[in-house]
């Protein structure tokens, strides 16, 4: 989304890669964007400011850049077009109900005074949306900033430096905006993306199949008989759905995944190469690539008391604010037959959940759960 939208208004896109850079590069190569998209490796992960400095090294000081954090998601990417028209340094702000969780933009007459990170008592509810238009010369000349408590060069510190010498305009974005920082935010961003989907059927749909609403079925996908699909839904290239499958609204089934006999998927993101072949329920969950769900695997998404689901994030139990939330399963994990996973649980990559297990807590990566010995 970021790249496609940016390519409409800029000559070239530079993607700064670091963690798992090989996967990002592989994906970009598969998109056909490579003639106008290049990657720059951030060898040491020294913050957003350092990442931008790496990206602009090959540019002229007179150039201007639009900077977008990769973990923000917008309802309307036309903001890039608006930024392409402005001549002054600009930061995009958005109003949120919980500004203390973000960098707050303190401004006067639409001119930024300073950015303050996660203040206890914010002066305004306008926060940093993670999108900027900046002059390369101003970035470079204002890059000598103190390191953050994490030992990083923050782009917000560079922007604060710029404001002491030149005006920085605040452009207030009024559409839906999500900072994808927690696992359940993926579901919220996915919902925004699916709001604009249109009905397209490129794959093979066998009769009888019931399709309602906006459903995109990509090339080489196969929908087998007696399946029900209620949009908005996206089904990727080479995916197989059915027979007798039920795909409910706000679901994404990525390429080469299989949702088989009597499997129900509700408001979930199922990434590429996932196999859920028999008699399973996937509710309000995120399933990463190449996961295999054994027959009868149930991903529960509702507490008995119908209170909001909590999830453990960096050893802190956080309230997700969602009454319905299933689980997050990392890449290449497997479940045996008749596994039940409770709401808010995370399963790490490459882990195995043994048959008949009820999972109430997080399972780390590369783990067989529960532990057992063969005598």
Active site residues: 278
Whose CA is closest to 104, among 120, 83, 88?
120
Q: How far apart are the C-alpha atoms of 296 and 290, rounded to whole Å? A: 18
Among all chains, which residue has been given the structure tokens 């008749």? 338
CB 230 within 8 A of CB 266: no
The first and second tokens of residue 349, run together, are 């990559």
Which alpha helices (DSSP H) does the chain contain, by range? 2-7, 21-31, 48-55, 79-85, 136-141, 155-163, 183-194
Cβ neighbors of 146 (< 8 A, separation 6 or more) are 157
Would you call 170 helix, strand, or coil by DSSP?
A: strand
Neighbour tally for 166: CB within 10 Å: 12
How far, CA to CA in Å, does 108 sit from each of 68, 119, 167, 346, 353? 24, 18, 11, 43, 55
Residues 117, 94: Cα–Cα separation, whole Å: 15
Count CB neighbours of 285 within 10 A: 27
| The pair of three-digit structure tokens given for residue 255, joined into one six-digit string | 């390429």
């Amino acid at each position: 989304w970021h790249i496609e939208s940016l390519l409409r208004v800029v000559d070239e896109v530079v993607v700064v890669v670091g963690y798992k850079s090989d996967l990002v590069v592989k994906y970009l190569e598969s998109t056909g964007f490579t003639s106008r998209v290049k990657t720059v490796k951030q060898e040491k992960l020294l913050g957003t400011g350092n990442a931008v400095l790496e990206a602009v090294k090959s540019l002229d000081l007179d150039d201007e850049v639009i900077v977008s954090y990769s973990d923000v998601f917008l309802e309307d990417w036309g903001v890039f077009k608006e930024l392409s028209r402005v001549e002054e340094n600009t930061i995009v702000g958005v109003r949120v109900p919980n500004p203390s969780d973000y960098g707050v933009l303190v401004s006067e007459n639409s001119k930024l005074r300073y950015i303050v990170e996660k203040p206890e008592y914010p002066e305004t509810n306008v926060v940093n949306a993670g999108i900027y238009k900046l002059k390369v010369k101003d970035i470079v000349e204002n890059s000598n900033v103190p390191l953050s408590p994490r030992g990083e060069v923050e782009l917000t510190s560079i922007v604060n430096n710029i404001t002491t010498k030149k005006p920085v305009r605040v452009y207030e974005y009024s559409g839906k905006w999500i900072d994808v920082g927690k696992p359940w935010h993926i579901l919220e961003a996915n919902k925004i993306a699916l709001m604009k989907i249109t009905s397209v059927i490129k794959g093979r749909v066998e009769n009888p199949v019931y399709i309602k609403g906006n459903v995109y079925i990509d090339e080489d996908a196969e929908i087998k008989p007696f399946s029900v699909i209620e949009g908005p839904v996206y089904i990727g290239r080479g995916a197989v759905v059915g027979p007798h499958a039920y795909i409910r609204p706000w679901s994404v089934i990525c390429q080469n995944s299989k949702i088989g006999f009597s499997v129900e998927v509700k408001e979930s993101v199922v990434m590429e190469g996932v196999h859920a072949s028999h008699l399973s329920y996937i509710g309000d969950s995120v399933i990463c690539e190449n996961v295999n769900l054994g027959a009868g695997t149930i991903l529960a998404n509702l507490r008995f008391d119908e209170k909001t689901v909590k999830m453990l994030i960096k050893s802190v139990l956080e309230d997700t604010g969602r009454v319905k939330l299933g689980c997050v399963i990392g890449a290449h994990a497997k479940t045996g037959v008749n596994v039940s996973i409770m709401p808010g649980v995370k399963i790490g990559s490459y882990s195995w959940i043994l048959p008949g297990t009820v999972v109430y807590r997080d399972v780390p990566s590369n783990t067989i759960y529960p532990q057992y010995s063969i005598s």
